[in-house]
Copies of this chain bind each other. A is one copy, B any other.
């Protein structure tokens, strides 16, 4: 729940509460457990809700309409404008009874392998909370400006053309490319580097390497750094 930004947990007749194992497993999210509200019956837990969804792998006779998790997330968020909404989960062993499911306005199922469709309780909770978070932030996504580390400004067309010239020279001087029979090698490398959308620093590294190779081939030696590309 906490990974997806949810915080309000209600427990209906828990076998043990508080419980040391539960606290240990809650790790950094133990405040959600500490603030959990214990209810003596499902009626009490659902009393103030305007919309409740029972999560169940099985479609029930006489149960409320069944919807997929993703569609349910949209409905739940829409209804949340009107009052409290709830997701109802059964316990790990026996799930929800028909009577409990019938307390709800929807049965929510998680699309799964028909041959093995029952998720662990923890997995089901995680998935539903995830769908709620994604739906909640879908239209107005949280602005995540991931300034990718090391990204540098894009290279200019001129930078790139100079790199291709340089690459072509080394391809010839190394004996790899026969100018009389170029075999479309350079266009193929243009296609590759074009896809990558080269950045300025990357051009500097590539040209530094080409410089170093060129100097070695010319028998001049030297040990240029990555920024050591000698002009156009």
The chain A residues found within 8 Å of chain B, CB to CB, are 2-5, 28-29, 59-62, 65-66, 70, 110-114, 116-120, 122-123, 126-127, 130, 133-134, 137, 142, 146, 148-150, 170-171, 174-176, 178, 183-185, 187-189, 191-193, 195-199, 201-202, 205-206, 208-209, 211-213, 215-217, 221-224, 226
Contact = CB atoms under 8 A, between A and B. Distances in A.
Contacts of A114: 142
Nearest to A217: B216
Given A116-B3, A118-B3, A188 B205 contact: yes
A149 B212 CA distance: 33
A137 B137 CA distance: 24
B191 A150 contact: yes
A195 B191 CA distance: 13
A201 B188 contact: yes
A226 B62 CA distance: 17
Nearest to A151: B191
Contacts of A117: 3
A65 B199 CA distance: 14
A171 B217 contact: no
Given A28-B116, A175-B221, A226-B185, A146 B59 contact: yes
Contact of A205 (B120, B170, B189): B189
Contacts of A216: 174-175, 216-217
Task: Report, nearest first, the 6 A-B pairs whose CB atoms are least far apart.
Answer: A176-B212, A196-B196, A5-B113, A174-B212, A175-B223, A61-B149
A176 B209 contact: yes
